Structure 1
Amino acid sequence: MKIKEIKVFVCCPGRNFVTIKVITEDATYGIGDATVNGREMAVVAYLEEHVIPCLIGKDAQQIEDIWQYLYKGAYWQNGAISIAAISAIDMALWDIKGKIAGLPVYQLLGGKSRKAVTVYAHVNGETVDDVLNNLEVAIDQGYKVARLQCTIPGIAGTYGTLGKKKNYYELQGDRPLPPEHGWSTTKYLNFITELFKQARERFGYDIELCHDVHSRLTPIEAVQLGKMLEPYRLKFLEDPVTYENTDGYQVIRNQTAMPLALGEKFNTIWDAKPFIENQTIDFVRTAATHGGGITALKKLADFAALYHVRMAPHGAPDLSPICFMAHMHLDLWAPNFGVQEFIGFGTSTLNEVFKYKAELKDGSIHIEDVPGIGVDFDEAAAEKYPYKRSYLPVTRLEDGTLWSW
């Protein structure tokens, strides 16, 4: 079953997405997500100029060989742009494989390890009371796990708390440039414990809670935070420190019992390897779109399982429903699945372009048993929402020093 054509689409039904469609000679097709937020057109160029010409005429069923061909066959084989391209092709090929077999992808991976996929909600607010009121809503909706983020007093535009305020596109105005946010580690550390203290006092310990630091601390600051939050038994603390220096996580692990999550910026299993084999993290957060697709994440899950590390794939709004559905199949299969990040089913415009069926019930996602990944892409609808150049924000300390976002 040879590949006849590969199409690339860029659309913005609320956010920018790069979607590919791999079409075989018998008109069977599969779709994949190649989105890299803020660098979308770089992936498009890599696909159109360097990947697609190499795949026309290849057998679409040889998923592993094509993955290796695109990775090992390129001297410059790593990095967010090239891996996103590989990831999208890989998802599309698994989609085709499932359609040929007449089976959902999770069956091809080895079948279900659970009935449904436990997800965690994003619960944000401008004040502690706002966050707790929103947490009560999430609990009433059936969520068993929630990530809490709150605006830090005296800091404008704190990560994770845009809420109903202007989105990133509006913040960028007519001349798209990265919006800038402020940050103060001192103000953050002086405040954030109160959020979790009040959450536990009001809701007890049956609801599992997470928090994302977004790499804004040094290792010793992360130790201080971990110790302060230990009494409130978080499910995990995400990205307390940048991942480039792996020894930083050993410093944290040696001094606090706080469970740690890391990996949304990992591109390959090699990025995750030292953290997993040294057991300095408890959850690996790599996404199918940014980590090599279904083929790569299956290998990552198997490796992580050897070290009691669980999967908790990234689920931000800049990953399309194609990636979301790919995660559903991986999460259903993976014996060491932990929890899935979930930001809701999207807007009416998003769901006009991407067609899929999934149901949230009692804090878990249920999907239909349909062949392939179970999501389709409406080309005509996508044309109504053209690409808008956009960037993620930039963070600066109060003295103007550039900081991690």
Structure 2
Amino acid sequence: MKITSARLIICSPDRNFVTLKIETDEGIYGLGDATLNGRELAVASYLSEHVCPCLIGRDPSQIEDIWQYLYRGAYWRRGPVTMTAIAAVDVALWDIKGKALNTPVYNLLGGKSRDGVMVYAHANGRDIDETVDSVRKEMELGYIAVRAQSGIPGMSGTYGVPKGTKAYEPAERGLPSESLWSSERYLRAAPKLFERLRVELGEDVHLLHDVHHRLTPIEAARLGKALEPANLFWMEDPVPAELQEGFKLIREHTTTPIATGEVFNSFWDAHDLIRNQWIDYLRMTIVHGGGLTALKKAADFAAIYHVRTGCHGATDLSPVTMAAALHFGLSIHNFGVQEHMRHSALTDAVFPHEYTFSAGYMYPGDKPGLGVDIDETLAAKYPYERAYLPLARKLDGTLTDW
């Protein structure tokens, strides 16, 4: 079998997606997600100009060799654009291999390690009352793990809280917007939210919370300690991870589990965090971390240090990545939880898929390959529209981490 074409499908069914379709001389094709939120066209250009021409004529079964070729052969390694492009190729090749061997991808990764993949939903509100109601609604839908975010008193907008009645979607059409942030007000408000949630909803539901890189290490340590009575499943991205030693300070002051890594694009971004046991969950996603080949190696390394996975799964990742994440989560031993932001009905129509949700768990299905496809005719009706993630400034106007 040889690769005969590799082409991109760029569409925007409620949000932007870049999909790589690799076709072979035996009529088998595979799909890979190449979406990088707010920088989609940069990855598309990298693929079309530099990667796709190098794939033609290659044996698609040589997944490891092609991965190394794209990683080492470029000389300029890593970075979100490069690793997203590599991931798109890698996932498409696993999809092809599964179809060629007539088996789901999870069987190629070692087979099932569990019956289903526990996922967590997102719940949010303008205030604590709304967030409590939102968490309750997600529980009624069957979720047993829920991430909770709430508006902050005195702040007009807060991360994770939608502006209107639609589901929360961070990417906004047009140029980046700006919002205000106060760590001091947030640190006073967040513990009150989780105290209420436990009082009203009990101890059985797994509660998660995303800090979104907005604190200093000592502030994050203070928050983690304050949240200990609520017994969180995790506190996510408490600080920016460029300074990995910052997590050491947090770890020394709280037993609240720590998750990070959704912005990581290489195992090396997490190397010290894992080997020093400064985190409990690795959030790196398949699409930005170099694909299934790279994530499998990262998970195996993490397992040595009792670190589990919790892959990013927001709506900026297409159903192709969700399918890949479910095959991955089903197969590895040290799986923790999978994020699940539900795609819109239009996105699901453009990307018909086999995966399903039931009673807190998702299942990739048993169709050969990934079990996801793309309706190119429907996708063509929704062309790319410029969209960006917002920015954040402190009350005095200082630009801070969003």
Please state which band the TM-score falls in when normalised by the shorter chain: over 0.9
CA offset digits 1:154-189 (Å, max 9, x no partner): 1122110116457769965xxx21011110011101
Query: 2: CA distance between counterparts of 1:57 and 1:73?
Result: 17
Aligned equivalent of 2:353, options 343, 351, 356? 356
1:351-394 CA-partner distances (Å, limit 9, x unpaired): 22101022211100123201001100111111000000111000
1:299 counterpart residue number = 297
1:319 to 317, 336, 344: 317
Aligned letter for 1:16?
N
In 1, Cα distance between equivalents of 2:171 and 2:350: 22
Query: Hey, what's the Cα distance between the residues in 1 that align with 2:242 and 2:344?
Result: 35
- In structure 2, C-alpha distance between the alignment counterparts of 1:127 and 1:318, rounded to whole Å: 25
* Cα separation, partners in 2 of 1:400 and 1:297, compared to 1, 3 Å: same
Structure 1 pair 395–170 and aligned structure 2 pair: CA distance change class (3 A) = closer
Q: What residue identity is the alignment partner of 1:133?
A: D
1:190 is matched with which residue: 188, 191, 196? Answer: 188
- 1:51-130 superposed matches below 5 A: 51-130=51-130
Instruction: Mark the runs of 5 or more structure 1 residues left unpaired by the alignment.
Output: none
- Contiguous gaps of at least 5 residues in structure 2: none
**Structure 2: how far apart are the matches of 1:222 and 1:286?**
20
Q: Does structure 2 retain, via aligned residues, the 8 Å contact 1:322–1:375?
A: yes
1:8 alignment counterpart? 8
Instruction: Provide the residue aligned with 1:161 in structure 2.
Output: 161
Aligned-pair distance for 1:27? Answer: 1.7
TM-score by length of 2: 0.98
2:157 is the alignment partner of 1:135: no
- Rounded Cα–Cα distance in structure 2 between residues aligned with 1:333 and 1:369: 13
Q: Which moved more, 1:7-16 or 1:135-144?
A: 135-144
What is the percent sequence identity of the aligned residues? Answer: 52
Aligned counterpart, 2:233: 235
Letter in 2 for 1:316: A
Whether contact under 8 Å (2:355, 2:371) holds in the other structure is no
Deviation at 1:134, TM superposition (A): 1.3
**CA 1:337–1:100: 2 relative to 1, 3 Å:** same
Taking a change above 3 Å as real, the CA distance of residues 171 and 315 of structure 1, as seen in their structure-2 partners, is closer
Q: 1:272 aligns with which of 254, 260, 270?
A: 270
- Which secondary structure state, in structure 2, belongs to the residue aligned with residue 288 of structure 1? coil
Distance (Å, rounded) in 2 between the aligned partners of 1:326 and 1:141: 24
User: How far, CA to CA, are the matches of 2:315 and 2:43 in structure 1?
Assistant: 18
Flag the 1:83–1:395 CA change in 2: closer, same or farther, 3 A: same
Question: Alignment partner for residue 382 of structure 2, among 379, 382, 385?
Answer: 385
Amino acid at match of 1:274: D
Asked whether the 8 Å contact 2:121–2:138 carries over to 1, the reply is: yes
The question of whether the paired residues in 2 share the 8 Å contact of 1:125 and 1:134 is answered with yes
Partners of 2:358 and 2:164 in 1: how far apart?
A: 25
Contact 1:168 1:393 in 2 (8 A): no
- Secondary structure of the structure 1 residue equivalent to 2:352: strand
TM-score by length of 1: 0.97
- CA change 1:171–1:361 in 2 (3 A) is closer
1:226 counterpart (224, 227, 232): 224
Q: Does 1:402 align with 2:399?
A: yes
Taking the TM superposition and a 5 Å limit, the aligned residue runs for 1:330-349 are 330-344=328-342, 346-349=343-346
Letter in 2 for 1:363: G
| Structure 1 Cα separation of the partners of residues 207 and 126 of structure 2 | 18
The answer for the alignment partner of 1:210 in structure 2 is: 208
